Structure 1
């Protein structure tokens, strides 16, 4: 509480200040009439009391000028006022320097407002501080908008996190299902291959044997596709070049024909998993066709898979000496290739010059 002597001293100081500025003084008139809340304190008195405040300050805080005179500005502080901000103000006053600070203050009725406070010392001709001048700006609505934006951002971040978690869970479920389906497909292909091999051991008919070997060759090619898709971390993509390299290497090794020279020109060509089967069938049939036509004598076979000018290119060339081969099997192979070409919306070119054969398959990148 402010005692009577302190209160009287504060009022006297305020009256002296006003008397030094007649009513017609522009400074006094502006101070009283401005809509910006302002007050003046007297640091030469005990506890630096308020000696004058304008009408705008009373409207902001709810305190009358009579109630404010003689009080220290701390009467605007409350439970949630930032103590660090208060300490900064106190140090600035003690050091007689300007300060601008944002602080949460309390009105007479207990309601809060955000105060953009500016405090500045007023010096006499000798340089001694005789008053402190303070102006206030209520920016509560701006602060509330900032809080609303912050809450909206937090809500949005929570929603994004929630949706992301849902999508991650959905993707994990989908991935698990895809892997499960791929395992089933692979197991079924292995079962089919086992049945065909068993039938091969039992058949004595050469025509049936050729047919079963032809079917087994394609089943094993598709099984390689499924195995590679399952073993890749990015199961949704298929590396065509990697598949082609394994396929032709296995074929040459299985034939045990050192007189057949295999060359390759491969660069990574990755396509969606959905296109893995037609790509695999095209490579399998083109390479298989080269071997079917030239197993009599040695020669060279070349496989090229690469990107060229925005297109995928699969090139199979050979210099194998032609021998008699099953024309029906050749027709079936070409039918498989043509069906796969249509599925990929690709183009195929075949060139034959003596014992040199070249087949080129091109399609635009997605």
Structure 2
């Protein structure tokens, strides 16, 4: 604005009186102050401003707008407004003012300088709005959000506590299953030692070893924080370490090349049984007559899921002694079917190679 409109600047038929009357009739509260007079007093207000504040024109004219201030008025907003007006700049802001009866209201104001042709500030014109309802709504929403966040926080804490209790219970179950399996394995070993040499003793010994493998699987699961999955690389390393504990390292060794995979905890027992059966079978039959050799266990992710390979450099399938009473081959096939995988036995030249492909769903691997 460069100044109040003159008759020449108004459209034909519109006088200054008509122009002022339009401002007077506006529903937007308006006020004009005169910075050329001491303390920048109010020199004009419209009816909407009177309705908003409850004051009369006689009570407002000649006084500074600070008469509307009170305890809730934000001093930082006032300081920013003073600095803007002192520099002749426009200002926008919200501040708590008070009506004549002492009722506070949130006043949203836009103040603009009115200049003459030379640029000198003649007046400040302010359009204002009662933002109290908006403030109350925002306050109510903020309180509602705070209450909701507290409820969500409490609910989250309750769920976390329940999850921790469930996790502790599952760990305890795994721990007890492991102990029970160890007891069963020990009883079968004791019975095997008291059974005459032959197929019965070998069968008892083999079953005790298989139960021991399941016990090992539970032992490696229950200390983990996450009861839903396990690291297959660490799991296999511990399992193989148990198998290799009694081996003569100079004659027979087991090597692993395992990719780190987070698998479903439900796969732990069948995989432990599978690896134990194939590795133990190789140790028993691939290296007869004190033959030296090695067994390699490999596992890595593939397009179909996971590819597990157990290979030895022993005498091979054809040279191995037949075992009509053997249960290992059947057990391996049963476990692979349980895992919905595929199984391939082949000569490694030398030795035997068993390749197993196991599908991994999103629930089984991460």
CA distance in 2, matches of 1:98, 1:210: 97
Name the CA shift for 1:353/1:51 in 2 (closer, same or farther; >3 Å): closer
Q: Indicate which of 7, 24, 27 corresponds to 2:15.
A: 24
Cα RMSD of the aligned pairs, angstroms, is: 3.0
Could you say which residue in structure 2 is the equivalent of 1:232? 224
- Deviation per CA, 1:2-36, whole angstroms, max 9, x where unpaired? xxxxxxxxxxxxxxxxxxx9x93153233222222
Displacement after TM superposition at 1:218 (Å): 0.8
Q: Which moved more, 1:197-206 or 1:266-275?
A: 197-206
- Given that 1:55 and 1:65 are in contact with CA atoms closer than 8 Å, whether structure 2 keeps it comes out as no
Equivalent residue in structure 2 for 1:362, among 330, 335, 357: 357
Cα distance 1:307–1:135, how it changes in 2: closer, same or farther (>3 A)? same
Query: Which one of the candidate residues 299, 305, 309 is aligned to 1:311?
Result: 305
Structure 2 unaligned blocks of 5 or more:
1-9, 362-366
1:153 to 136, 145, 148: 145
Which position in structure 2 is the counterpart of 1:324?
Answer: 321
TM-score w.r.t. length of structure 2: 0.82
Residue 137 of structure 1 aligns to a residue whose secondary structure is strand
1:291 counterpart = 2:288: no
Is the 8 Å Cα contact of residues 237 and 272 (structure 1) preserved in structure 2? Answer: yes
TM-score normalised over the length of structure 1:
0.82
Any conservation in 1 of the 2:306–2:359 contact (CA below 8 Å)? yes
1:173 and 2:165 aligned: yes
Structure 1 position 300, deviation (Å)? 4.1
Measured in 1, the distance between the counterparts of 2:349 and 2:91 equals 96
CA distance in 1, matches of 2:349, 2:40: 111
- Distance in 1 (CA, whole Å) between partners of 2:201 and 2:244 is 21
Correspondence for 1:114: 106
Q: What residue in structure 2 maps to residue 188 of structure 1? A: 180
Rounded Cα–Cα distance in structure 2 between residues aligned with 1:60 and 1:40:
15
Distance 2:295 2:124 in 1: 96
Distance between the aligned counterparts of 1:245 and 1:183, measured in 2? 20
Which stretch has the larger CA shift, 236-245 or 46-55? 236-245
Cα drift, residue 122 of structure 1: 3.6
Match of 1:12 in 2: none
Equivalent in the alignment of 1:9: none
Q: Give the match's secondary structure for 2:246.
A: helix
Give 1:220's aligned residue: 212
Closer, same or farther: CA 28–270 of 1 in aligned 2, 3 Å: closer
Question: Unaligned regions of 5+ residues in structure 1, if any?
Answer: 1-20
Equivalences for residues 11-50 of structure 1 within 5 A: 24-25=15-16, 26-50=18-42
CA drift of 1:195 comes to: 2.4
Q: Could you tell me how far apart the structure 2 residues matched to 1:126 and 1:255 are?
A: 103
The range that moved more, 249-258 or 181-190, is 249-258
CA distance in 2, matches of 1:357, 1:64: 105
Structure 1 distance, partners of 2:285, 2:150, is 65
Deviation at 1:144, TM superposition (A): 3.3
* Alignment partners' CA distance in 1, 2:299 and 2:188: 31
- 2:5 alignment counterpart: none
In the alignment of these two chains, the number of paired residues is 345
Query: Is structure 2 residue 70 aligned with structure 1 residue 73?
Result: no
C-alpha contact 1:240 1:280 (8 A) present in aligned 2 = no
SS in structure 1 opposite 2:135? helix
State the secondary structure of the residue aligned to 2:20: helix
Query: Runs ≥4 in structure 1, deviation > 6 angstroms?
Result: none
Structure 1 residue 249: Cα displacement = 4.7
